[in-house]
């Protein structure tokens, strides 16, 4: 732990190293009944999030997952089933297993199918929250493919003009491989921010900016509790445009997969899709690399509105944070530390083993 002195107050800054971060999640999830294989995959994807500064999808969700396992919302021993629909499309019934494990299975199958048929598409039903979307699409990019995923979520947003939660903030991710460089990674929710960011602000006792959420009465709020845990609604990106994106993502991940959709989405009947596109079966990889690099040069070389501005590719900032956090560890706030400390103690593990 590191203590940072700010004026006359003492602010506790807690860091956890990558290896301890992984082991903490594995130990806790196996303690409550998940297999090592499931726990290791959940740990890998939660670490992926925290190490890139996507703090809304990492350790902050660990207590939630534990509660859902204990309450049998997440199945400890799912009996998942595969259904082959066509040569390029498969369906996975996840039997309410932890979403990280199911999501990885689904993207690996999409990649395998794409190697044979240029395109692989896997729909998943009866799943649970799968964490950071970018992990799955980057998995495809590591195989030289373009990766695409979307998932629906519990209702968090009202349709434009409404004041009731009907739609999830259904995220979408794309990843594009680059030769010798980090991939381009788009990973966005269809709300202005993820719900986890409101939880994080509430833990830190800090307000949220205007334009993030409405309270339960449909009025703008800067109170993170009122905007989410108090029954409010998140606001969509670009107003009606974000609403439209969320709607169509739910059609793909929910309606088409056979899982829940809209107000019928529960914590254990979430749906998602995974898609992999094999570039080399469309054009030679070298040709693609040349064209992509040319496009990136255009974008990065654009005239700047301010000479001090930086132009980043999607995912570039997260990769910068990854390098810093892999070296110095992941910083967590004091309230999250207390929550994790209590969880570790309740499960008869040692806090000193991780922090």
- Model pLDDT for residues 309-353, shown as the tens digit of each residue: 999 999 999 999 999 999 999 999 899 999 999 999 999 999 999
Residue 211 in this model has a pLDDT that exceeds 60? yes
Residue 2 in this model has a pLDDT that exceeds 90? no
Contacts of 160 (CB under 8 A, 6+ apart): 236, 239, 240, 243
Other C-beta atoms within 10 Å of 11: how many?
Answer: 11
Residue 3 in this model has a pLDDT that exceeds 60? no
User: What domains can you pick out in the chain, each with its CATH number?
Assistant: 1-71+329-355 (1.10.1530.10)
Contacts of 227 (CB under 8 A, 6+ apart): 198, 208, 212, 213, 214, 215, 221, 233, 234
Residue 208 binned pLDDT confidence (cut-offs 50, 70, 90): very high
Residue 137 binned pLDDT confidence (cut-offs 50, 70, 90): very high
Residue 10: per-residue pLDDT:
46
Whole-number Å distance between alpha carbons of 262 and 249:
11
Residue 11 binned pLDDT confidence (cut-offs 50, 70, 90): low
Residue 1 binned pLDDT confidence (cut-offs 50, 70, 90): very low
> Where on the phi/psi map is residue 239: left (φ > 0), alpha (ψ -120 to 50), or beta?
left
Q: Count CA atoms closer than 13 A to 223's CA, side-chain side.
A: 9
Cα of 256 vs its chain's centroid, Å = 21
Whole-number Å distance between alpha carbons of 217 and 197:
21
Residue 226 in this model has a pLDDT that exceeds 80? yes
pLDDT in tens, 74-124: 999 999 999 999 999 999 999 999 999 999 999 999 999 999 999 999 999
């Amino acid at each position: 732990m590191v203590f940072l002195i700010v004026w006359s107050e003492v602010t506790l800054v807690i860091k956890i190293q990558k290896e301890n971060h992984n082991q903490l999640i594995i130990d806790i999830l196996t303690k409550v009944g998940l297999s090592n294989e499931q726990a290791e995959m959940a740990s890998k994807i939660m670490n992926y999030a925290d190490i890139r500064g996507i703090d809304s999808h990492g350790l902050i969700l660990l207590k939630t997952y534990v509660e859902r396992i204990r309450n049998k919302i997440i199945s400890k021993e799912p009996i998942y089933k595969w259904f082959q629909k066509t040569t390029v499309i498969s369906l996975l019934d996840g039997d309410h297993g932890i979403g990280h494990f199911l999501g990885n299975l689904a993207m690996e199958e999409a990649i395998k199918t794409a190697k044979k048929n240029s395109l692989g598409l896997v729909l998943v039903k009866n799943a649970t929250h799968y964490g950071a979307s970018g992990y799955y699409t980057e998995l495809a990019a590591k195989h030289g493919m373009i990766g695409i995923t979307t998932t629906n979520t519990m209702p968090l947003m009202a349709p434009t003009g409404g004041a009731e939660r009907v739609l999830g903030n259904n995220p979408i991710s794309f990843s594009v491989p680059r030769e010798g460089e980090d991939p381009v990674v788009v990973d966005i929710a269809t709300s202005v921010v993820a719900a986890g960011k409101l939880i994080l602000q509430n833990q830190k006792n800090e307000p949220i900016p205007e334009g993030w959420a409405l309270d339960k009465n449909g009025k703008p709020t800067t109170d993170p509790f009122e905007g989410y845990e108090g029954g409010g609604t998140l606001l969509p990106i670009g107003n009606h445009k974000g609403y439209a994106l969320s709607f169509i993502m739910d059609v793909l991940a929910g309606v088409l997969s056979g899982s829940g959709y809209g107000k019928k989405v529960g914590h254990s009947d979430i749906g998602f899709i995974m898609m992999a596109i094999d570039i080399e079966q469309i054009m030679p990889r070298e040709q693609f690399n040349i064209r992509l690099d040319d496009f990136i040069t255009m974008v990065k070389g654009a005239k700047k509105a301010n000479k001090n501005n930086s132009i980043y590719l999607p995912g570039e900032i997260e990769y910068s944070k990854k390098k810093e956090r892999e070296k110095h560890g992941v910083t967590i706030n004091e309230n999250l530390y207390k929550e994790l400390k209590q969880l570790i103690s309740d499960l008869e593990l040692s806090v000193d083993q991780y922090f």
